Structure 1
């Protein structure tokens, strides 16, 4: 089968009028599904909340092992291909060069991934984890940080990187469309160009749109809480809607300018802003305690990574805790894999599988665990010194925990306000970078996997994300937002299976490619004569 011809036939079926270039099936079914879900959530809030809540509970009880197995299988496979002969493969072929410098690449990957969690849960999560299931306890005072690393560290990034390597390899090296459907080529073959391919891309698009809508809603709440705490701006749905509109407008401008300009510039700026912000807290706060906590916690994290990573709760109370925390996080990262994984694949052309597998596992893990330890250790230290004041603020509203910490960090009113303003700016940019990179991913998925799409289409999907978030928040309120979050988490179940399929597909395809390469007599002869390095041209 001629893959290039099949791809062109797929593209030829797109709707290409009025400045759009859309796959009709994916776009229409996605729009109708969004409308149906929004109406169900808004018109029947109690019924929808009960339905999705019950489904989530059933998944936590019966499939918690699947999420844990998927995350650990992803880590194992990445370590295998990272250290094996397959690590030499370059996404895009042996002549491909990276489009972005290392710092820009990392900044975009980090900003689109889980960087926002630093601000939302950095202070609160170590305090939440002072009481954890017995199966996760090691008798150390740093077990709470170990659990936080489990949620934000290697397991989370392995999920994203597996998706990115799979999509990058099948698209750049095998010439398949830059869409989730291509991951199923070893199983479905030419069927990815028809109905089943459209269904796969539709489900992936819904996961991205709903995930971003939840992210925008939660982000607006935290930004509003910060503005209310510092400047007295009312903490109301109307203000949050204005914030979503503001974020959407900036994201739209970024999307119009493209990845190499708007998205890259914002990501780099946010890396600098966040770095300066965390450095300031480290210097003002309990510096020695922060670093002591980090190194001790990292040692315990890696010492217990197998027992903690494979822990599956059995007791009912432990099942409830694990469902609310570990399974929630894994399901969320898995459901976000079509978004973050696709975006990482987009910015990683020209990089080797080894760079992605090993660099993608280690660098983000080191940065995010250090960042969250700076906030978490500072929060715990100040909480102990002030009779549990930080814990009380967390119970009241987790969104203000960061800003409450500033009041106890320094007596200087100027520094308190300055840190709060920088935090609000950083949080805002994190959500903008998530929104703009998400819009680009949706554009690719709804155009049958085209690398570039018309500007009108980019604007349309950027506004669609904001519209979904505003509709849910304004009409359905916080309850509808929580219901939408539950629905996104449910999507983690089918995508767990998809991730396992990706591992199987990659293993099969890489082995076939290497076998074909090894039997190429011309290459073997040149290698024997020393004219090329071993495996240098293995694609």
Structure 2
């Protein structure tokens, strides 16, 4: 059983170790260890980026080849655990206690879920991945129509499995933070196993690993994604595509993210997340109308049916002989989602107080997945249709220069001649703004998460501290672009993915611990609800007597 802490106990056990001078409030061990590790990695990359890339790829290939079954079976276990939390009596447990209230509206909450979770990834891959699978038939979701197989496979990579991972870790973090009054930090989920040791060096190591994975994951996404922004601006106004321009764009995005970070979640992050959803809706509906509408709708319906029908067999599929496809796609994605989960999970936990377990799990698991399926069908379906009409021209673009694929697809849309020029420019503008906005949201939410962890899990920290982490993300991405361009970023991404294996095992143990602690809270909250109900009955009886 995990005890409930109060602020005074936490101050004595953890926060008293914080460095609180010079306008800062942070854990010096976690912050310094992260800073030293980033410095060592940067120097290593500067000295020999080719060697670094080979080493990290060797580690990744070894993990994916030999432990693919861990990722596949664990990710299925996470979905089963989430469904158990939602549909058992534990679903009635409220995050933060019986009397806790929600901090954000449903629309704001869903907007932030999607923006932090994988909004930018959907922008980058929604054209390329379905098109790639339609040309190279995957071993899962087999169908006579290759389009449906391709789209169902893409659903598999962006649907219930990643969101099941996010739902599980964010639920654990939210429960231990708001129901047990532990710090909002990754170390807290280990309290049932390690006890008070989480407040010492072991906890510092756990938080340091989470910060490194988050910072490097964000830096990788920022560096790779800024190439897509550069491509969009090249299409729009002819800005050259080169490293110098990409570093300038990172600086601009980081500056905007810094302003949002200073504003905090309630203003900056929420505003940008809601803006993302509105822009995304306009963009998606425009492509749906201007593209092959009937074809898109058929692709969505048939692909979703195939995905749901073959969900179990495809989810438990493990390659025996040729592991190249599954290692490059499904296992790669699962490792990336798991390594990314401390960041996304902690952010979702931060914004989810006041929700019941059932509401929380079903919302995190189902709503973003369904919206992702619709988005992928519109853009992936349009891309596959255009590729067929253009004799494979769009696939050639995806294969040779993935960042420009989305903008290239827009040029093929069948827009009426009189409006063609204006509409294409507007679509380019909206697409570019949406990519920038998603990147800013990822950067500022990531900075807030890193700041929370490095401060020991405090909910309120100095603005200068949040700014520092936002700037550091941009700086790491810029340095790697300058040192080795896309090669350096891919090496970093490979290194981050390697952390997925230990995190997968940690999540399995964590879910078992969470079940035990939720059972205790469920009984406690049920007693409170029964007492409150009894009090209301007494009040009614007393009123009637009067």
Whether the TM-score (by the shorter chain) exceeds 0.5 is yes
- Decide whether the 8 Å contact of 2:269 with 2:441 is kept in 1: yes
User: Which residue of the partner structure matches residue 504 of structure 1?
Assistant: 512
User: Which residue of the partner structure matches residue 502 of structure 2?
Assistant: 494
In the alignment, the residues of structure 2 paired with residue 149 and residue 305 of structure 1 have an alpha-carbon distance, to the nearest angstrom, of 10
Shift of 1:395: 1.7
Which residue, 2, 5, 11 being the options, matches 1:3? 5
- Decide whether the 8 Å contact of 1:136 with 1:311 is kept in 2: no
- Tell whether 2:277 aligns with 1:274: no
Tell me the alpha carbon deviations over residues 286-344 of structure 1, each in whole angstroms, 9 at most, x when there is no partner. 1111111101110110001111111111122xx11111111111111111111111000
In the alignment, the residues of structure 2 paired with residue 287 and residue 80 of structure 1 have an alpha-carbon distance, to the nearest angstrom, of 38
In the alignment, the residues of structure 1 paired with residue 529 and residue 289 of structure 2 have an alpha-carbon distance, to the nearest angstrom, of 57
- Decide whether the 8 Å contact of 1:184 with 1:501 is kept in 2: no
Which residue, 102, 105, 117 being the options, matches 1:98? 102
Change in 2 beyond 3 A, CA 1:525/1:417: closer
Within a 5 Å distance, the mapping from 1:138-537 to structure 2 comes to 138-141=143-146, 142-316=148-322, 319-409=323-413, 410=415, 412-514=420-522, 531=537
- Decide whether the 8 Å contact of 1:204 with 1:338 is kept in 2: yes
Shift of 1:427: 0.4
Worse-superposed segment, 129-138 or 368-377: 129-138
Change in 2 beyond 3 A, CA 1:58/1:365: same
In the alignment, the residues of structure 2 paired with residue 217 and residue 148 of structure 1 have an alpha-carbon distance, to the nearest angstrom, of 23
- Decide whether the 8 Å contact of 2:85 with 2:361 is kept in 1: yes
RMSD: 1.7
| Structure 1: runs of 5+ lacking an equivalent | 533-539
Shift of 1:2: 7.4
Change in 2 beyond 3 A, CA 1:436/1:517: closer
Shift of 1:139: 3.5
Shift of 1:517: 6.1
Shift of 1:527: 6.7
In the alignment, the residues of structure 1 paired with residue 287 and residue 481 of structure 2 have an alpha-carbon distance, to the nearest angstrom, of 33
In the alignment, the residues of structure 1 paired with residue 140 and residue 285 of structure 2 have an alpha-carbon distance, to the nearest angstrom, of 35
Change in 2 beyond 3 A, CA 1:527/1:269: closer
- Decide whether the 8 Å contact of 1:282 with 1:290 is kept in 2: yes
Shift of 1:476: 2.4
- Decide whether the 8 Å contact of 2:122 with 2:376 is kept in 1: yes
User: Which residue of the partner structure matches residue 38 of structure 1?
Assistant: 42
In the alignment, the residues of structure 2 paired with residue 513 and residue 99 of structure 1 have an alpha-carbon distance, to the nearest angstrom, of 21
In the alignment, the residues of structure 2 paired with residue 381 and residue 405 of structure 1 have an alpha-carbon distance, to the nearest angstrom, of 10
In the alignment, the residues of structure 2 paired with residue 134 and residue 52 of structure 1 have an alpha-carbon distance, to the nearest angstrom, of 27
In the alignment, the residues of structure 1 paired with residue 372 and residue 4 of structure 2 have an alpha-carbon distance, to the nearest angstrom, of 44
User: Which residue of the partner structure matches residue 537 of structure 1?
Assistant: none
Give the aligned length. 528
Name the SS of the counterpart of 1:20 in structure 2.
coil
Change in 2 beyond 3 A, CA 1:96/1:44: same
User: Which residue of the partner structure matches residue 63 of structure 2?
Assistant: 59
In the alignment, the residues of structure 1 paired with residue 181 and residue 4 of structure 2 have an alpha-carbon distance, to the nearest angstrom, of 10
Tell me the TM-score normalized by structure 1: 0.95
| Structure 2: runs of 5+ lacking an equivalent | 539-546
Tell me the TM-score normalized by structure 2: 0.94
- Decide whether the 8 Å contact of 2:42 with 2:480 is kept in 1: yes
Shift of 1:498: 1.7
Tell me the alpha carbon deviations over residues 33-78 of structure 1, each in whole angstroms, 9 at most, x when there is no partner. 1111111122121211111010011011111111111211111011
In the alignment, the residues of structure 1 paired with residue 338 and residue 308 of structure 2 have an alpha-carbon distance, to the nearest angstrom, of 22
Shift of 1:132: 3.1
Change in 2 beyond 3 A, CA 1:486/1:413: same
In the alignment, the residues of structure 1 paired with residue 167 and residue 423 of structure 2 have an alpha-carbon distance, to the nearest angstrom, of 38
- Decide whether the 8 Å contact of 2:4 with 2:182 is kept in 1: no
